[in-house]
Structure 1
Amino acid sequence: MKTRFKLGAAVGGLMALCGAGVSAQELPNTMVWTSYDVGSAGYAEASAIADAFGKEFGTRVRIQPSGSGIGRLQPLLQGRADYAFLATEAFFLSEGAFDFATPEWGPRELRAVAGRPAGITLIAAGDAGIETVADARGKRIAFVAGNPSVNVKCEAILAFGGLTLDDVEVVTFPTYASAMSSMTRNESDATCTTPTTSQLYELAESPRGIHYAPLEADNAEGWEGLLKVLPIMGPSDEDVAAGLEEGEIAKMAAYRYPVITTTVEKSADDVYAFIKALDETYDLYKDGTATMTRWTLEKSGKPAIDVPFHEGAVRYLKEKGIWTEEDDAWNEKRTQRMNALVEAWDSFKSENEGLSEEDFAEAWMARRAEIVAGLN
């Protein structure tokens, strides 16, 4: 009996040690994430999640903020960051589109872990005389240097009102933060972004005030124009926005921001541990900002999203009963599209080496459209 007790104790102790080892290895001791600028919704949400990871698991997270999509992506692609809290630059990079339609970039494989639903519209200073998108004609619109995520959404939203960039005065700012605060400084009249950034709350409290130009769901002509420019958004009713009174609704477009993104090389076990931690710490960070309740995996762990979900994330979502066969079909189709563009890139690049950067980008965007049109 004594021998059996000792043996049982030894086995139990070994199992406890093994269990502790597995638990300790679920998340690394340290991680590096990239995000939008300090003051942005993305930075605030990444910070809240990082704080929750630290409290629950002891993981130390260093966040590298950047005002440009390229600045958020380079550390991830170079292996200096584990995850990136991105906006639509995730989609653009996977397609080699816009700022990434250059010989140095082109389409790259990325994978999503989760992405919070977010709203966007043309957000104007209250005294700018912009009631509808069409009223932005001749007005100063803030763009961000090197940030197609903001700029192309703004171009698409202007198209909702029948406008092009030639119809407005584009004012480009060096960082996201400076662009978003430019209306308060009366250096611009409007911009396009998620409606919960800290700079917009400042605008709402300023003498200029704030106004959300509506993107009505029943405006078929407006949506046709918008989707021709950027086919990844749809109508959305937003009830959380700077300056919006309780009970009010702002008619916006829906997309995903931030999208927690990683590389295809990231191990499935690592990503599984990350999304599990994201799920298990939800109660610790859900009140971090007004919109963080949308990080529940029933909302943030579902297609459509900018890039395919990582296999590690899918494994966890399936275990939770969130992921469906329809989600699998979406993920497969999105992966096929990305792979087709990545595979076409090398031959296209070698065949067009002599072109100027502008002609190269134009030729690739045309080739990209052909490839996408040929997919099932």
Structure 2
Amino acid sequence: MKKSLSVLLVLLLALSFIIAGCSSNQPAPDEGQADNAKKEAPAKQPEEQAAKETKLLMATGGTGGTYYPLGGAMAETWSNHIEGLKVTVQSTGASVENIRLLSNKQTELAMAMNGPAQAAVQGLGDFKEKVTNVAAIGVIYPEVMQVVTPQASGVQTIADLKGKRVSIGPPGSGTASAAVKILAAYGIDADKDITKFQDTFADAADKLKDGQLDAAFAVLAVPAANIIEISTATPVDIVDIDGDGLQKLLDSEPAFAPYEIPAGTYEGQDELGKTVAQWAVLYTQKELSDDLAYNLAKVMYENTDEIAAGHARGNQITLDNAIKGIKPVPFHPGAVKYYKEKGISVE
């Protein structure tokens, strides 16, 4: 009996050691896996991917003009060809406003006429202080001033606009800035000598058709769809900018150059139109990285067919015009690098 009791005690003691061993403080499998996971590189999260995307805002113009839809086509092309880049376009009052937006760092890219940009870096005209942080990427297309008048208005020259109802373009636009200078070259004060309207050209076109305006200034590509539309309902003339007034304008405003509109471009326009042009230019902030400025220039000039598929004016983006009318605005170093590769000197 005593022997059996001793055996039983030995068995119970052995069993207690086994149970103690099984319940020792070893890490649970899931804890061990968690420790190992901490040592592994974490998976890329969506917000980390988004952080690597570069977003640029581009100031353009009114939705009824050329800048806004053309800017949209350019933005899409850049986004398609430059990895990690997303360009968004913004409708604005156009050139003068756009340069101000750039100078205030409220946009990274801007389309603007070369004249207002030149005035900005010199602190002239619409700009009371010099703008110092703006640089040019390159010319987009020629900006042609077209002064449209119904044939029934009797307006034949710029001088004839005195005392007339004239739309000079939206406030803050390059059109309005240019119109004031053109009128002044012919001795007309835009604030005193005309009944001044400041419509978008889409609105001015309606007023011309309805007989509410005698003339409207518009900086548009040639031919301009809005002018074609007017001419189908109302015979129009393109008022010539020539003679002594033209010479005075060219002497005082070197951003302008003479430009001819072929006869027959518009219904009722039977003679060669004599006017002036400036250049639509892509501008940016000087702080933009050189690599990004380089790629913006490269993609813009080497994918014109793709841009033109989105807006017909894309076919006027050419390297032949790329550096015209830019100075004294400085070129961005990234754009200069691209031009040097193409054998174009900006000196």
Q: Against the structure 1 CA distance between its residues 209 and 31, is the aligned structure 2 distance closer, same or farther, given a 3 Å change threshold?
A: farther
- 1:34 Cα deviation after fit: 0.6
Do 2:118 and 2:326's aligned partners in 1 also have CA atoms closer than 8 Å?
no
Give the structure-2-normalised TM-score: 0.71
Correspondences of 1:187-198 after superposition (within 5 Å)? 187-196=212-221, 198=225
Which whole-Å CA distance do the structure 2 matches of 1:307 and 1:236 have between them?
A: 23
Where does residue 16 of structure 1 map in the other structure?
Answer: none
Partner residue in 1 for 2:49: none
Note the C-alpha offset of 1:38: 0.5
Q: Percent identical across equivalent pairs? A: 23
Distance 1:241 1:272 in 2: 40
The residue type paired with residue 296 of structure 2 is F
Aligned pair count reads: 291
Compared with structure 1, are the counterparts of its residues 317 and 143 closer, same or farther at alpha carbon in structure 2 (3 Å cutoff)?
A: same
Q: Tell whether the 8 Å contact from 2:164 to 2:194 is kept in structure 1 after alignment.
A: yes
Pick aligned residue for 1:76 from 102, 112, 126: 102
SS in 2 for 1:86: strand
The residue that corresponds to 2:282 in the other structure is 260
Q: Deviations over 1:293-317 (max 9, x none)?
A: 2211121334445722212111101
> Is 1:173 aligned to 2:195, yes or no?
no
Q: Distance in 1 between matches of 2:228 and 2:76?
A: 23
2:239 is equivalent to residue 210 of structure 1: no
Q: Which of 163, 170, 174 is residue 149 of structure 1 equivalent to?
A: 174
Letter in structure 2 aligned against 1:125: P
2:339 aligned to which of 314, 317, 323: 317
Are the counterparts in 2 of residues 143 and 170 from structure 1 also a CA contact under 8 Å? no
The secondary structure found in structure 1 opposite 2:93 is coil
The residue type paired with residue 124 of structure 2 is A
What is the match of residue 89 of structure 1? 116
Deviation by residue 1:135-170 (Cα, 9 ceiling, x = unmatched): 222211113453262223113323454544367424
Letter aligned with residue 84 of structure 1: A
- 2:195 and 2:289 map into 1 onto residues whose CA distance is 42
SS of alignment partner, residue 208 of structure 2: coil
Partner of 2:45: none
Greater Rg, structure 1 or structure 2?
2
How far has the Cα of 1:178 moved from its partner?
A: 3.9
Q: Which residue of 1 aligns with 2:136?
A: 112
Contact 2:96/2:174, CA 8 A, preserved across alignment: no
8 Å CA contact 2:149–2:216 kept in 1: the answer is: yes
The Cα of 1:126 is off from its aligned counterpart by: 3.4
Summarize the alignment of residues 197-276 of structure 1 with structure 2, pairs less than 5 Å apart.
Answer: 198-205=225-232, 207-216=233-242, 219=243, 221-227=244-250, 229-239=252-262, 243=266, 249-257=272-280, 259-276=281-298
Structure 1 distance, partners of 2:290, 2:268, is 43
Counterparts in 2 of 1:302 and 1:92: CA distance versus 1, 3 Å: closer
Structure 1: which amino acid aligns with 2:322? S
Deviates more, 1:169-178 or 1:110-119: 169-178
CA distance in 2, matches of 1:100, 1:241: 39
Cα deviation for residue 177 of structure 1 reads 5.0
What secondary structure sits across from 1:114 in the alignment?
A: strand
Cα 1:126–1:66 shift into 2, 3 Å: farther
Q: 1:89: how far off? A: 2.8
Preserved contact between residue 263 and residue 270 of structure 2 (Cα < 8 Å): no
- Structure 1 unaligned regions, length at least 5: 1-26, 329-376
Q: Which of 161, 181, 193 in structure 2 is aligned with 1:136?
A: 161
Distance between the aligned counterparts of 2:195 and 2:130, measured in 1?
26
Partner Cα separation in structure 1 for residue 53 and residue 99 of structure 2: 21
Aligned-partner Cα distance in 2 for 1:126–1:198: 19
Q: For residues 330-357 of structure 1, give each alpha carbon's deviation from its aligned partner in whole angstroms, at most 9, with x where no partner exists.
A: xxxxxxxxxxxxxxxxxxxxxxxxxxxx
How high is the TM-score relative to the length of structure 1? 0.66
CA–CA distance in structure 2, aligned partners of residues 244 and 291 of structure 1 = 21
Question: Does the residue aligned with 2:111 lie in a helix, a strand or coil?
Answer: strand
Q: What is the correspondence of 1:298-317 to structure 2 with a 5 Å cutoff?
A: 298-304=320-326, 307-317=329-339
